[in-house]
Amino acid sequence: MILGLDVSTSITGVSIVGDDGKIVYCEVVDTRNKRLFPTLLFKAYVIKSKLEDIQRDYPIDEIFIEESLQSFRSGFSSAKTLSTLSKINGIISYIVWELWNREPEYVASTSARKLCGIKVPRGQKAKQVVLNYLLDTDPDFAVEYTSKGNPKPASYDRADSLIIARAGLEICRQRNLKS
Which residue range is the domain that position 136 belongs to? 2-178
The pTM of this model reads: 0.91
Indicate the number of domains in the chain.
1
For residue 15, what is the domain's CATH number? 3.30.420.10
Question: Averaged over 64-70, what is the pLDDT?
Answer: 81
Beta bridge mates, 11: 30
Query: pLDDT for 155-177, tens place per residue?
Result: 999 999 999 999 999 999 999 88
For 103, which DSSP code? P
Residue spans of alpha helices (H) in 35-152? 40-57, 79-100, 109-115, 126-137
- Picking from 106, 98, 78, the residue whose alpha carbon sits closest to that of residue 9 is 78
Confidence of residue 69 (pLDDT cuts 50, 70, 90): low
